[in-house]
Structure 1
C-alpha cells in the first residue's frame, strides 16, 4: 500500500472493484502525503474508504499495490468481459420484466421500447427567484387515520411559485391518530412527525399564502379538502379538470401528463410533493396562454347571457306597465 502517495488517482480515472460490483470514483489528495480520499459503491450505497480498501460483508479487503498505483484491477481477465457487461446493461428493464414460467407477460408499455423509458427523472426550478408570485402551485401528501385507515388526513403540504421554487414545505401533525403512514406512496414516516406542526397553524399559514392568488394543482379538491379550505373557482387551475388535458370524460394521472408534456418521469417510487407541485405548475405554464384566454371567453359569454336576461326582464316590466 506504499504506492498510494507515489501516484495519486487522477481526475477522470475509474477504479473497478468488479468482484462485488462496486466502483471507485476518482480520489483527491487533501494536502497530506497519504491523504487519499476515495468512495466505493457497494450494493447501491456509497462508503468512504482509506488507502484503497473496501469493506464488504464486514471484512476489510485491500485492493493491493497494483490498484493503488493507478492500474485498473479486474478479477475477470477475459478481454471480452467489459464488452459483455456493457451489452447486459443496455436492457436491464427488459430483463427485469421478462416473463418466467407460470407468469403472464407484462404489457408492452413496461418494456424499454416504450418512448418513456429514456425520459429523465425529476424537475428543477426554472430560476433563482423565490418571490411570492401571482400564481402558486400546491401539493399535499396524506396518511391514513381512523379505523382501518379508511380516512385520509394531511401530513405534508408544499407550495411553489411560478418558477418552481419552494415557498412553503411543512410536515403536519394530523388531528386524529395515524393508522397508516402510507409510506410507499406518501413518503411519510414516523420520524417526520417529531418536528411536524399542528394542523391549525399550517392551515392558517397556507390560507394566508394563497389568498388572492391563482392556485394550480392536480385534483385540487383533494388538497383543499385535506386542508379544510376553499378557494375561489375563478382562481383555481386544476390540471386534472382542464379539458385539453383530459382523455374524453376521464382524468389523467399527473405522472402521465408530466411524461407527455414535460418529457420527465415523476412518482417513480414515493411521491414528492415538491416535484408534483412543480409538475402541475410547469404543465400550467405550457398551456397558460390558451388556458387563460378560454377562461376569459367563458366569463364574456356568461356576462352576455346576464345582460340578455336583464334586458328581457326590463322589456317584460315595460310591457306590463
Structure 2
C-alpha cells in the first residue's frame, strides 16, 4: 500500500527525522480516518489507521473494510474513497494488529480517544500523551482545545489538513509536537504521578 506521507506531498521535511531508526519505538503516534455510517452518515466507523514511530517514520498504515454500509465517505476531509475500503483489511485483523503495537507503549495523538473509540480499544491513561489536552498548548489558545492544524502551523511551521487529511501526516505532526516538548511533558507526568502516590499514602 502506498503511504500518503507528508514527505511525499512536500510538506513535512520537519516531521520525519532523516536517517533515523524506522522501526517500532517505545513511543508511537496514531491517527485514524473515519467514514460515516447510519442515517445521514452521522455515526463514525474506522476507515484507515496510521501509526508512526518516535522519529516520524510510518510503521503501520492500513485501510479497513467497513462493517456497516457507508453512507458518507467524507472524502473532502477523510480522503477515503470506495476503492480504498474495498481493498482494505478486515476490522478484526486491524484491531488485533494495532492492539499488539500499542501494548506497553506510550501513545501520542490528537484527541486520540476518538481513534481508540472507533477501534474499540482502551489504553492506560498514564501512557497517553494527547496534544489536544496538553496544558501548555491549551494556554496558547486561551484555555481552549487547540486544533492540530493550528498547533502544527504555529509551532512547527508545517501546514497540515489542507483539504483532504492524511492520517500519516497528522500522526507525524502530533509526534513532532510531543518530541519538541518531551522533557517538560514527561517531567509533568512524573510529578503528577508522584503527587497521586503521595495522596494515597496519606492517612484517612
Q: Give your verdict on TM over 0.5.
A: yes
* Match status 1:127 vs 2:18: yes
Give the whole-Å Cα distance in 1 for the aligned partners of 2:142 and 2:123. 26
* Match status 1:265 vs 2:159: yes
Contact 2:73-2:80 within 8 A present in 1 as well: yes
Give the whole-Å Cα distance in 1 for the aligned partners of 2:193 and 2:12. 36
Q: How far apart are residue 250 of structure 1 and its match?
A: 1.5
Give 2:102's aligned residue. Answer: 210
Give the whole-Å Cα distance in 2 for the aligned partners of 1:277 and 1:262. 14
Give 2:60's aligned residue. Answer: 168
Q: How far apart are residue 249 of structure 1 and its match?
A: 3.5
Corresponding residue to 1:297 among 164, 178, 191: 191
Greater radius of gyration (CA): 1
TM-score by length of 1: 0.58
* Match status 1:227 vs 2:119: yes
Secondary structure of 2:182's counterpart equals helix
Give the whole-Å Cα distance in 1 for the aligned partners of 2:65 and 2:127. 28
Q: How far apart are residue 196 of structure 1 and its match?
A: 0.3
Give the whole-Å Cα distance in 2 for the aligned partners of 1:162 and 1:121. 18
Q: How far apart are residue 308 of structure 1 and its match?
A: 1.4
* Match status 1:306 vs 2:195: no
Q: How far apart are residue 264 of structure 1 and its match?
A: 1.0
Contact 2:66-2:85 within 8 A present in 1 as well: no
Aligned residues: 191
Give the whole-Å Cα distance in 2 for the aligned partners of 1:286 and 1:148. 40
* Match status 1:157 vs 2:49: yes
Give 2:147's aligned residue. Answer: 253
Give the whole-Å Cα distance in 1 for the aligned partners of 2:182 and 2:134. 11
Q: Which runs of 5+ in 2 are unaligned?
A: 1-9
Correspondence list, 1:161-200, <5 A? 161-200=53-92
Q: How far apart are residue 288 of structure 1 and its match?
A: 0.4
Stretches of 4+ aligned residues off by more than 6 angstroms: none
Secondary structure of 2:64's counterpart equals strand
Q: Which runs of 5+ in 1 are unaligned?
A: 1-119, 313-321
Give the whole-Å Cα distance in 1 for the aligned partners of 2:39 and 2:197. 49
Q: How far apart are residue 194 of structure 1 and its match?
A: 2.3
Correspondence list, 1:92-103, <5 A? none
Q: How far apart are residue 122 of structure 1 and its match?
A: 3.2
Give the whole-Å Cα distance in 2 for the aligned partners of 1:156 and 1:196. 8
Deviation digits for residues 255-308 of structure 1, max 9, x if unmatched?
A: 100011111111111000111000000000001000000111111111111111
Q: Provide the aligned C-alpha RMSD in A.
A: 1.2
Secondary structure of 2:107's counterpart equals strand
